[in-house]
A and B are shown apart, each in its own frame.
Chain A
Amino acid sequence: MGAVMAVPLVRYLLYPVGRKIVSTPDAPIDIAAAADIVAGADPVRLPIIASGVRDAWNRSDNVAVGSCWVSKDQQGAITAFSSVCPHLGCSVSFIEKSSDFRCPCHNSAFDKNGAKKDDGPAKRGLDPLQVTVEEGRVKVTYQRFRNDIAEREPV
């Protein structure tokens, strides 16, 4: 009797493990007009507002799933970093004074190009999000990665 109950209950409990319970469509998400991002300026935090977001039984449109730090270099190339700290998942800030990214939780630090600085506990740099520019609009592909490991492993 024990096994008859235990097997289904354990399977029931572990159902979410390894499954995409929370998901955002793979299609690039419009975040801004390319013209609004000033070349050479400090990165700006832009919210990522997605539609078709699944959360278990819910499906929602126009919800904020995260944010990214976006900048444009002098040649006009746009990069975006996920604002999720690769250490333990807090939200990193850009510090103007030191011109670098800092996590307010455990002081992980990243330079302006997202590379990991020596101080701070993060094991990798900020996670870049794929950027495309179509008809003057900046779009990013939203992804989350496993935290606190050196590799970039999507979840």
Chain B
Amino acid sequence: MLGLERIGDWFDERTGYREGLKKALDEDVLGGARFAYVFGSVLSFLLVLQMTTGVFLAMYYSPSATDAWASVAFVQDQVSAGWFVRGLHSHGASAMVIVAGLHLLQVAIFGAYKKPRELNWIIGVLMLGLILAFALTGYLLPWDQTGYWATQVATGIAGTSPVIGEQVQQAMQAGNGYGNLTITRFFALHVFVLPAALIGMVILHLKLFRKHHQTPPWWLDKRQLKARVQPFWPDQMFRDMVAMALVFAALVAVNLYTHGAPLDAPADPSTAFDARPEWYFRFLFQGLKYFHGILEVIVALGAPVIVGGVLLALPFLDRGPDLSPKKRLPYLAVLGVGVAMVGALTVVSFMEDKNNPEFQKAHKAARESAKKARALASTYGVPPQGGAAVFTMEPGYRGNQLFKRDCAGCHAGGERKGPEIIEGYNSRQWIGDFLRNPSANRFFGVTKLDDMEPVSETGEDFDALVELVYAQSGAPDAKPQLAAKGQALFDDGSCSDCHSIDWETEEELGPNLGRRGSASMLKEFIVNPGHLRWYGDKNEMPASKGEYSKADLQELVNYLIGLREKQRPKG
């Protein structure tokens, strides 16, 4: 201990830190320490937490339209404890809004905005504005669907400002639309401008607080106040730390329970999305639904100005020396009505969504899309074209695109010219349906090849023939014994009058069924369906020789084979 003290002495002689510390901690709390005074300290604690987690997030975050979502998904799903850090930051923002609101109410109820503390109240209100600006800019940064669409609404509202609306909107979103510059601008605001402004104001706020001290409880007279003086350290500090610990514990609990903050699918301007702002902006969002035309502009831009204005003006309106809330009822009533309105609009907004089946459906689809996008990002990585390109990494995606582009015109949809190729294609069910009615509209009914007779076998014989055709594809679940029985029926019955099933034989009445539906067969067939092994001069399908790269042909064939395992849609 002696050693430590001597080190302390050494530093004190050179810095005078002991006196500074004493100044910082030796503050008399008139009327005694209280839990009512903890909110400011809790806010400082949360601010430090936000700055810490924010700096850590910035070590992985990439502020560009193509990278942002991918980097956040990486933090969320790959980086050790990434979800925890990001979750703390996101939930921490909510906590700041809540605690700032409570702080404001405590100060208002205690009349702490009165002379000589008017300026500190004003700084506090401005800081609340900054906290909301943090929330607004931070919401966009992941560049996910929620952030992208919800922020469009916010900048859209700015665009309705009179006269210079368009310029204001374009300055905010940095250009005529959302893109790279929107992110870099929001990022710079979120991590440089707003923190600098907030820290500066916090310093001023604390300086002024120290100058005027806390506003003592109105129910104690001067004599009582003097009689109950407690020092900041340890009495108030202890309460502050208890409150910080409680808030931190709650924050961690919520974070663990939610497994961090949500991350939606990457921003995609071509999809539908039911955008919703963060819960603390819900009242504004809901309010907008009720006001149309010119009223809308007045409400959207006027309401924040009026609310902010009333708050800022409060110390100049309520000027009496009385601190008792009873004597300041009109002012507190205005505040109370404001709080009640915000609360009511928030509840109504959530209830409307809860009771809206369309929204619920869209919400569920959005969650599934997010899950898929993040799984693909984790497994395959995100292509450099941008977050939304992660969906192209899905196995079968390229094949599906090729099919849609080149095949679907004739093989799917209302103006088909060939057999329908959809989910369930070449499954046992499909082959069975075909053999029972080859000339059905689904099959060759729409082609000139409609002269095949339905298969007359029934029961297990029919199943055996189906299995024989199915087994040609090389499907791993084919049953060889049943297929062998089918082969015997094929050879003995009428099938072999028109078909072979050996790959080699050519120029028969019907196509050779050997290897039918296998990858090797499909590849050759797509390239040259008029081969004598198959349709010869009866072929109607355009050959695509030389049109596909090897890789693309493989993708297309994989897609076709993948359909076999899928369920045919009803109807």
Contact = CB atoms under 8 A, between A and B. Distances in A.
Interface string B156-176: 110110000011001100111
Contacts of A106: 285, 288-289
Given A38-B414, A148-B156, A55 B170 contact: no
Contacts of A83: 272
Interface residue tally on A, bucketed by range: 35 or more
B518 to A, nearest CB: 30
Interface string A13-24: 110111111110
Interface stretch (B201-209, B291-299, B309-317, B520-528): B291-299
Interface residues of B, number: 48
Contacts of A144: 176-177
Contacts of B291: 121
Given A13-B171, A121-B296, A155 B180 contact: no
A45 B153 CA distance: 21
Given A21-B174, A48-B270, A16 B181 contact: yes
B409 A58 contact: no
Contact of B272 (A23, A93, A123): A93
Is the contact region of chain A dominated by helix, strand, or loop, or is it mixed? loop
Given A16-B181, A19-B175, A89-B153, A104 B289 contact: no
A131 to B, nearest CB: 17
Given A90-B275, A91-B273, A56 B171 contact: no
A144 B173 CA distance: 15
B177 A64 contact: no
Interface in A122-155: 123, 144, 146-148, 155
A90 B269 contact: no
B155 to A, nearest CB: 8
Contacts of A95: 358
Contacts of A120: 292
Contacts of B272: 45, 67, 83, 91, 93, 104
Contacts of B180: 55-58
A19 B66 contact: no
Most central of A14, A63, A83, A123 by chain B CB within 10 Å:
A63
Nearest to A20: B176
A47 B270 CA distance: 5
Contact of A105 (B174, B268, B269, B275): B275
Interface in B386-419: 386, 388-389, 408-409, 413-415
8 contacts: A16-B176, A55-B179, A64-B269, A64-B271, A88-B153, A90-B274, A106-B285, A106-B289
Interface of B: 65-66, 149, 152-153, 156-157, 159-160, 166-167, 170-171, 174-181, 268-275, 285, 288-289, 291-293, 296, 358-359, 362, 385-386, 388-389, 408-409, 413-415
